[in-house]
C-alpha cells in the first residue's frame, strides 16, 4: 500500500466511479449556453447562462426552480455571465462582456443580494472564491515587464496580491524570454485553472500539463505533472498561425482538435485532481480524463471520465468538486438535433481512495 497524508491508496490507484447523472430540464425555459456551474450545500445547482444573461437554478433532480437576473447593463442585470464560484454565503459571478466580477450574498434558497463589483480582465471563465478574497487566474500588469497570470483580490479592502508571474505561468525563466516567445505560446490559449487547500495554491495553464504548486506563506513554487501517451501538448503550428492570420475559425478549430487541453483542477487533503480533454474525431466530441496526484506531486491514478463530454471547444471549468462528499460533478454538453438545443447533463463521480 502507498501511504500519504493519512490516507491509504492501493497500488492500482484510486477508484473513480460514475454514480449518477442529472439531466437539466429544458421544459420551463431553455438553457441557452452554459460554461460552468456550482452546487450549494443544500443541493441547488447554479448555472450562469451567458447567452440568456441570467442565472438558472436547478434542484438535485435537474428541475428548474428559479431564473435569477435579466440580460442588460443595469443593476441586477448581466450581459454574459460565464463563470461563478460559491463560498457560503457568498457567490462570485464573472460577466465576460462587462469584464467585471459581481459579488452577491445568498439570502434564502434562490435569492441573492448584490454586495460589490470590480473590473476583472479575463477572457476565459475560472475564478475561486475564498473567505474574504477571490483568486483570479487572469492577466494583470504592474508594468511593461511585470505581468501576472494569477492574483488575489481582497473583497473588503480591494488590496491585490500578485502571485504568479506570466513567465512562470507559461514555463519560462524570465520575462524577456517569455516576451520573445509570446507569439509562439499565447495563441494556444491563455486560460488558467486554480484551487487552494491549506497553505498551497495549485495552478495549471490550459496549454501544458504542468501543475504549479505555490506556497502561500513563502510564495515559493514547485512543479509536477506527468503526460500520458494519449496527451498531445498544444503548440503553435504553421497551420494555426495561418488560421489566426486569415481569421478562419474552421482552420483554428481543426488544429486545436489535434491537441489536448487542461479544463480544470481541484485540490483535497489527500490529492490534487487535474482534468484534461482530447478530441475524438469519430464521435465528434471532446472527452475528459482525470489525473490524481498526491499533494507532493506523485501521479497515482488516471481514468477517462465516462460520459464527460462536450462538442464545443470552449475551454471552461465546467466541473465542480464537493470536498465533503468527495464527489466530482461534470457538466456534459451534447447537441440535440431533435430540439436544436444543447443537452446538459451533470455527471457525478465518486472518488474512492
Taking the C-alpha atoms of residue 295 and residue 198, their distance in angstroms, rounded to an integer, is: 11
CA dihedral 222, 228, 230, 235 (to 10 degrees): 30
Confidence of residue 5 (pLDDT cuts 50, 70, 90): very low
pLDDT surpassing 50 at residue 10: no
Confidence of residue 122 (pLDDT cuts 50, 70, 90): confident
Q: Which H or E element spans position 344?
A: strand 341-352
Record the pTM.
Answer: 0.93
| Whether the Cβ atoms of residue 317 and residue 126 lie closer than 8 Å to each other | yes
pLDDT tens for 273-284 read 999 999 999 999
When comparing pLDDT for 131 and 263, which is higher? 263
For residues 22-59, one letter each, b for 16 or more C-beta atoms within 10 angstroms of the residue's C-beta and e for the rest, the string is: bebbbeeebbebbbbbbbeeeebbbbbbbebbbbbbbb
Q: What are phi and psi of 186, to 5 degrees?
A: -60, -35
List of residues 6+ apart from 193 with CB closer than 8 A = 126, 137, 203, 204, 206, 262, 263, 264, 265, 317
When comparing pLDDT for 310 and 9, which is higher? 310
Query: pLDDT at position 341, please?
Result: 86
Angle between helices 238-245 and 249-256 (to 10 degrees): 160
pLDDT tens for 220-275 read 999 999 999 999 999 999 999 999 999 999 999 999 999 999 999 999 999 999 99
Taking the C-alpha atoms of residue 61 and residue 329, their distance in angstroms, rounded to an integer, is: 14
Query: pLDDT at position 316, please?
Result: 79
Q: Is 129 helix (H, G, I), strand (E, B) or coil?
A: strand
Query: pLDDT at position 131, please?
Result: 86
Domains (range + CATH), the chain: 2-352 (2.120.10.30)
The C-alpha cell that represents 79 in the structure block:
450581459
Amino acid at each position: 500500500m502507498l501511504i500519504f497524508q493519512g490516507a491509504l491508496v492501493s497500488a492500482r490507484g484510486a477508484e473513480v466511479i460514475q454514480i449518477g447523472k442529472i439531466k437539466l430540464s429544458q421544459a420551463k425555459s431553455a438553457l441557452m449556453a452554459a460554461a460552468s456551474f456550482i452546487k450549494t450545500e443544500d443541493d441547488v445547482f447554479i448555472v450562469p447562462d451567458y447567452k440568456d444573461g441570467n442565472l438558472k437554478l436547478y434542484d438535485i433532480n435537474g428541475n428548474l426552480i428559479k431564473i435569477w437576473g435579466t440580460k442588460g447593463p443595469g443593476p441586477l442585470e448581466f450581459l454574459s455571465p460565464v463563470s461563478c464560484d460559491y463560498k457560503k454565503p457568498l457567490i462570485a459571478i464573472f460577466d465576460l462582456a462587462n469584464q467585471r466580477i459581481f459579488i452577491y450574498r445568498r439570502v434564502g434558497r434562490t435569492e441573492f443580494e448584490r454586495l460589490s463589483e470590480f473590473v476583472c480582465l479575463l477572457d476565459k471563465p475560472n475564478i475561486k472564491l475564498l473567505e474574504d478574497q477571490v483568486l483570479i487566474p487572469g492577466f494583470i500588469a504592474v508594468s511593461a515587464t511585470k505581468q501576472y497570470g494569477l492574483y488575489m483580490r481582497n473583497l473588503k479592502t480591494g488590496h491585490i496580491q500578485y502571485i504568479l508571474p506570466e513567465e512562470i505561468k507559461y514555463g519560462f525563466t524570465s520575462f524577456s524570454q517569455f516576451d520573445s516567445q509570446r507569439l509562439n505560446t499565447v495563441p494556444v490559449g491563455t486560460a488558467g485553472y486554480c484551487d487552494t487547500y491549506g497553505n498551497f495554491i495549485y495552478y495549471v495553464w490550459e496549454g501544458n500539463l504542468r501543475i504549479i504548486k505555490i506556497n502561500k506563506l513563502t510564495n515559493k513554487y514547485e512543479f509536477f505533472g506527468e503526460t500520458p501517451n494519449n496527451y498531445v501538448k498544444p503548440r503553435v503550428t504553421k497551420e494555426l498561425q495561418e488560421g489566426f492570420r486569415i481569421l478562419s475559425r474552421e482552420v483554428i478549430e481543426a488544429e486545436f482538435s489535434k491537441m489536448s487541453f487542461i479544463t480544470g483542477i481541484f485540490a483535497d487533503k489527500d490529492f490534487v485532481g487535474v482534468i484534461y480533454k482530447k478530441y475524438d474525431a469519430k464521435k465528434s466530441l471532446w472527452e475528459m480524463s482525470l489525473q490524481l496526484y498526491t499533494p507532493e506531486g506523485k501521479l497515482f491514478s488516471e481514468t477517462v471520465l465516462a460520459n464527460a463530454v462536450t462538442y464545443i471547444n470552449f475551454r471552461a471549468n465546467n466541473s465542480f468538486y464537493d470536498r465533503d462528499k468527495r464527489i466530482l460533478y461534470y457538466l456534459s454538453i451534447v447537441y440535440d438535433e431533435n430540439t436544436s438545443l444543447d443537452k446538459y447533463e451533470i455527471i457525478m463521480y465518486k472518488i474512492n481512495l
